[in-house]
Structure formats: structure tokens, C-alpha cells
Amino acid sequence: MADSFEPKIVAFLCNWCAYTGADLAGTSRIQYPPNVRIIRLMCSGSVDSTYVLKPLLDGADGVLIGGCHPGDCHYQSGNYKARRRVVALKEILKSAGYDEDRVWLRWISASEGQLFAQTVTEMTNAIKEKGPNPMRQKWAV
């Protein structure tokens, strides 16, 4: 059962760094597991809490947010806003008894295709280890 579990991970990537990094992984043909589905946003700073909570409530097994490295934000400070928001959000998830490590925030630049692929691989493995989102079963009952 654990072996056949293929997690579903939703990724919000900023257009300028992480999304471009994901493209570079593609042009460099770096292979990674197909468990992550990407939604393009202009900036990680525009990731609303509902964007993270909705998929988790609906049964996604993880949420990845990818932004530019500190100091590199295309909009100057959007990634700092994302960082503050994710920290707060994780606190809330934790206090609600939910495993906050299903939400990952990572800085990936446009030239870090390798890092993107590596991040996806690591996250897929980490979530596989955790097993399916408990919320999924809750709703299925």
C-alpha cells in the first residue's frame, strides 16, 4: 500500500524565478517524479492562505510554494511577504493538530533547474513517507 501511494502535490511558483527554474529543469531534461502539478503565479507574495488551505482541505498531500531567493524578488519584497505568511500559516496548521511539514516554501532561482528537480524529488519522497493527507480520508468517510 505504502509503495503504491503516489502523493498529489500542488505547487505555486512565481513566474520569474521558480517557474523559470522549473522550465530550465525541462530544457535540461532533468528527470523528477510527476507528482507535482504547477500553478503559475506572478509572485510568491501573492500566495493567499486560501491557496494553501483549499488544496489541503480538498485532499492534496502537500503544497509547495516556490519563490525567488531573498534579495532577488522581481517585485523587490514579495518573497519576504510569502515567508512571513507561510510561517504564520504553519503555526496555525500546527495548532490545529495538522502536520505543517506538508507545506514547503523554497527559494529557487531561474538558473536552478537542478534545484527545482531535486526539491520536487525530495518533497515527493518526504510526503510518501508521511502517507496520504489524513484530511482526504476524513472527507471520504
Partner 1 sequence: MESKPRIGVYICHCGVNISATVDVEQVAEFAATLPNVVVSRDYLYMCSDPGQGLIQEDIETYDLNRVVVASCSPRMHEPTFQGAAQQAGMNPYLVEMANIREQCSWVHSDRERATEKAKWLVASVVAKAAELSPLEEREVDVTPGSVVVGGGVAGMAAALDVADAGFPVYLVEKSERLGGRLAELNRTFPTLEPVADLIGPLIERVQTHPAITLFLNAQVTNVEGYVGNFKVKVTGQEGERQVEVGSIIIATGYDLFDPQRKPELGYEYPNVITSLEMEQRLFDGDLAVNGREPQRVTFIQCVGSRDVQVGNPYCSRVCCMYTAKQASLVKDILPNADVTVLYMDVRTFGKGAEEFYDEARAKGVRYRKGNVSEIYRRGERVVLSGEDTLLGQPFDWETDLVVLAVGMESRADISELSTMLKLPRSADGFFLELHPKLRPVDTAVNGVFLAGCCQGPKDIPDTVAQAKAAASSALIPLLKGTVPVESATAVVDADLCAGCGMCVDVCPYGAPALDLLWGVSKINAVLCKGCGACATACPSKAINLQHFTPEQILAQVDALVG
Burial grade of 59 (CB within 10 A; 0-12, 13-18, 19 or more): middle
| 98 binds partner 1, rule: CB under 8 A | no
Which residue, 28 or 125, has its beta carbon nearer to partner 1?
28
**CA–CA distance, 11 with 104 (Å, rounded to integer):** 9
| 89 binds partner 1, rule: CB under 8 A | no
| 22 binds partner 1, rule: CB under 8 A | yes
Contact, 13 vs 35, CB < 8 A?
no
Report in angstroms how near the CB of residue 109 gets to partner 1 at its nearest.
Answer: 7
Planar angle of CA 116, 57, 53, nearest 5 degrees = 55
**CA–CA distance, 134 with 139 (Å, rounded to integer):** 9
| 77 binds partner 1, rule: CB under 8 A | yes
Residue whose grid cell is 513517507: 129
From the list 10, 65, 86, 123, which residue makes contact with partner 1 (rule: CB under 8 A)? 10
**CA–CA distance, 122 with 86 (Å, rounded to integer):** 19
From the list 24, 86, 93, 115, which residue makes contact with partner 1 (rule: CB under 8 A)? 24
From the list 50, 96, 97, 141, which residue makes contact with partner 1 (rule: CB under 8 A)? 50
Interface residue list for partner 1 (CB under 8 A): 8, 10, 15-16, 19-20, 22-34, 37-43, 45-48, 50-51, 54-55, 58-60, 71-72, 74-78, 81, 85, 109-111, 117
